[in-house]
Amino acid sequence: MTIHAGRARAITMWDFSWLERRWPGAGYEDWDVALAELAERGYDTVRIDAYPHLIDVDPQRTWTLPPLWTQMSWGAQSTIRIQILPQLLDFLRACARHGIGVALSSWFRRDVDDVRMRLDTPQRLAEAWISTLDAIDDAGLLDAIVYVDLCNEFPMPVWSPFVYGTDEAESIGVDHPRIGRWMRESIEIVRAAYPGLDYTFSFSDELDKMVAGDVSAFDLVEPHLWMAGVTDYYDLIGYNYERFDPVGFDNVVARGLEVYRADQSRFDGAILDAIDTIADWSRRVGKPVATTECWSIIDYKDWPGLEWDWVKELNEKAVVHAASTGRWTAIATSNFCGPQFVEMWRDIEYHRRLTDVILSAPIDEDLR
């Protein structure tokens, strides 16, 4: 498969949830059920964590992972034990049964030994990905892969601490020459081993830095875009990405909807303008766009006092706008399109309406 398919893909992010949320009621305990429901909603691609750093050390070890957070609904909210192979291969086979393509990424989850810190050069990052692709290729499943995102939201320290030596460093912008070298060199090494795949690093940075990054080695760009990320919305409601403290979501409950409705045209306009900025960047660099985390609020969940209607409304406006640009070849409807987000997931008609827009989106001639 390839991202350059002459049509847009309806993609969703299942991150590390596909493997870590398999207890009864967590949403992914039966992959065939979850994937059948995904296809029913009109999606044809899923982006997941392949855990390349763990595969590179020992793919069949049972790894112990502390929780990344307790307040968000992605992954597990307590310590969990997982094995990467053969589960990754089994999941790819399940995707194939349901006609779902797979984009590989990694959030580089910390295990109790923190082996991700071994990936302290572009060469070592590339080697971990080559080990992962070798395992997939040996199983005859390479055709299932749509593209490879070498690191989620690079170079944020929470996801790529090996660049800094710690996950508490101040982030370097994607426009920094050192980051450009990391991206270019690691992609070139992986591409030499697997030239038939498409490669990128996903970004979640200030827009001006994002569009100034060196993407010369990329086959596509993957910006993550939210209204809450391109405005002062979170400052106004008092949300600071509290991963282990409920105060952040308490503030979203108390002020989130009120603040949005009070200045809705400004907030809506900001995400639509950001989409236009990315479309212009795509035209300038000649790369297609995939967005798998988007469009309204960054963190949300089923919770007392949290309403989904406004989130869904803004997501729909953004999907329609992105689809109209001719630059997106993979579009998500939000980063809440998974079975653990029950209120969002059960609105099948909503998903079908948006995926119909995505799957019929025009693609500019230079990207076909």
Asked if 168 and 311 touch (Cβ cutoff 8 Å), the reply is no
- Residue 205: the pLDDT is 80
By CB neighbour count within 10 A (0-12 exposed, 13-18 middle, 19+ buried), where does 12 fall?
buried
Domain residue limits, the chain? 9-231+273-367
Tell me how far apart the 2 most distant CA atoms of the chain are, in Å. 55
Give me the residues paired with residue 82 across strands.
Answer: 63
CA angle 348, 351, 354 (to 5 degrees): 150
Note the pLDDT of residue 4. 67
Give the model confidence (pLDDT) of 253-273 as tens digits.
999 999 999 999 999 999 999
H or E stretch covering 295: strand 294-295
| Positions of the chain with pLDDT under 70 | 1, 4-5
Rounded-to-integer distance, Cα 210 and Cα 278, Å = 9
Distances (CA, A) of 290 to 74, 174, 319, 334: 20, 17, 12, 13
Which ranges of the chain does DSSP label H, i.e. alpha helix?
17-20, 31-40, 52-57, 87-97, 122-138, 177-193, 207-210, 227-230, 233-237, 247-251, 257-262, 264-285, 309-324, 342-345, 348-359
What is 251-288 written as a DSSP string? HIIIIIHHHHHHTHHHHHHHHHHHHHHHHHHHHHHT--
Q: Is 225 left (phi over 0), alpha (psi -120 to 50) or beta?
A: beta
- Cβ atoms within 10 Å of 27's Cβ, excluding its own: 21
Q: How many CA atoms lie within 13 A of 228 on its CB side?
A: 26
| Relative orientation angle of helices 177-193 and 122-138, to the nearest 10 degrees | 30
Distance of CA 257 to the CA centre of its chain: 25
Helices 309-324 and 264-285: crossing angle in degrees, nearest 10, is 30
* Whether CATH 3.20.20.80 fits 9-231+273-367: yes
Q: What is the pLDDT of residue 1?
A: 60
**Which tokens hold the place of 183?**
């991206």
The string of pLDDT tens digits covering residues 114-144 is 999 999 999 999 999 999 999 999 999 999 9
